[in-house]
Amino acid sequence: MRSLLKGRSAWSDRIEVDIGDDAAVVVPAPERSLVMTCDTMVETVHFLRQTMSCRDIGWKLLTSNLSDIAAMGGTPTFALLSIAVPFSWQTEEIQEIYRGLYQCADENRVTLVGGDTVSTPGPLTLSLTLLGEVSPGNALRRSSAKPGDVVFVTGTVGDSAAGLYLLLHHPQLKEDFPTLVKAHTRPAAQVSIGKWLAESGFNPACDDISDGIAGEAWEIAEASGVKLVIEQEKLPLTAACKEVAKMAEMDPYEWAWFGGEDYQLIGTIRPDGWQQLRQAALEENILITAIGRVEAGEPCVEKETAGKRMSLQQKGYNHFADR
């Protein structure tokens, strides 16, 4: 266990009892609400050795949790990691997973304060709990969308799915599309823009894109009791994503709608807030795009293409879809 702690940084002076006792103790920040999230990654379900290095696995595990904190408008603080290791994985490989996690933690000032390590017949399973903080009453929610709001998305979408396609089917081309490969193996959570949204006073709705735009838009529509209309041509796709889709004879918009793991934010904000958000994003060199609008009506998501509307399927990655 001690070998797994090499490279760990302590980013907070509020750790009262650090790793080494039965539990960690941290001092709560005054006048801050606690944000808590947990994500699990299972070998062959969430990652494959052929597509991700050990360090990539650790990085992405923390990023998936960071993205949840970002969607709530929070600041990440402390993490706990439980890992079940089969005999097919070597100690050096597990150490590399922790190194990747620490790299991501250092970039986001997160401190690992504990966890558990056990053996298992397989597969490799990692479960990370991440804590964060937000000002009381300021947490972003899916249920805040209102008719007249602008629907927006940060960054570009579909890149992670395109990167996965390359790694699975054309690994010899990964050097030609480094941004797509990085989008899948080393994604970045949008913590800074999430914090801006929480502190903006506009009470926007927000969700992170872990399962594709379609699924996340449906979550906002159902939580808010509204209709989201998204213009497909406005979805921000990279030239690289389109190029790989053409090579694969696939529709790149399908990767944007249903691919997932882009870890961008989709949200809604009233028109005057949108102008300020766009200006703030420009100042921080953050890409953010208006992709649609919120309308009154039964909760649903509609795709608008060339002026024509059609209902968008409520699907994304679902672990229990075939049960």
Domain ranges of the chain: 2-134, 142-311
Q: Which residues pair with 151 in a beta bridge?
A: 268, 292
CA atoms within 13 A on the CB side of 17: 7
CA atoms within 13 A on the CB side of 210: 21
159 is in an annotated binding site: no
pLDDT, tens digit, 9 for 90 and up, residues 233-269: 999 999 999 999 999 999 999 999 999 999 999 999 9
pLDDT, tens digit, 9 for 90 and up, residues 118-136: 999 989 999 999 999 999 9
Ordered DSSP codes for 152-195: EEES-SSHHHHHHHHHHH-GGGGGG-HHHHHHHHS----HHHHH
Long-range contacts of 309-312 (CB under 8 A, 24+ apart): 309/229, 312/214, 312/217, 312/218, 312/230, 312/257
251 is in an annotated binding site: no
21 is in an annotated binding site: no
CA distance 59 to 136: 29
3-state class of 209 per DSSP? coil
CATH number belonging to the domain at 2-134, selected among 3.40.190.10, 3.40.50.920, 3.30.70.2860, 3.30.1330.10? 3.30.1330.10
CA distance readout (Å), 2 to 63, 112, 114, 130, 292: 24, 13, 12, 21, 50
Measured from the Cβ of residue 1, the count of other Cβ atoms closer than 10 Å reads: 8
Lowest-confidence segment of 37-41, 215-219, 307-311, 319-323 by average pLDDT: 319-323
pLDDT at 1: 62
Q: What is the 3-state secondary structure (H, E, C) of 51-68?
A: CCCHHHHHHHHHHHHHHH
pLDDT tops 90 at residue 323: no
CA distance 102 to 96: 10
176 is in an annotated binding site: no
CA atoms within 13 A on the CB side of 24: 20
Same-fold call for 2-134 versus 142-311: no
119 is in an annotated binding site: no
pLDDT confidence bin for 225, thresholds 50/70/90 = very high
* CATH number 1.10.357.10 given to 142-311: no
68 is in an annotated binding site: yes
261 is in an annotated binding site: yes
98 is in an annotated binding site: yes
Are 4 and 95 in contact by the 8 Å Cβ rule? The answer is yes
40 is in an annotated binding site: no
115 is in an annotated binding site: yes
pLDDT at 41: 96
Residue 150's φ and ψ, nearest 5 degrees, are: -90, 135
Are 62 and 115 in contact by the 8 Å Cβ rule? The answer is no
3-state class of 230 per DSSP? strand
CA distance readout (Å), 142 to 135, 187, 205, 207: 17, 22, 5, 6
pLDDT confidence bin for 319, thresholds 50/70/90 = very low
46 is in an annotated binding site: yes
pLDDT tops 60 at residue 322: no
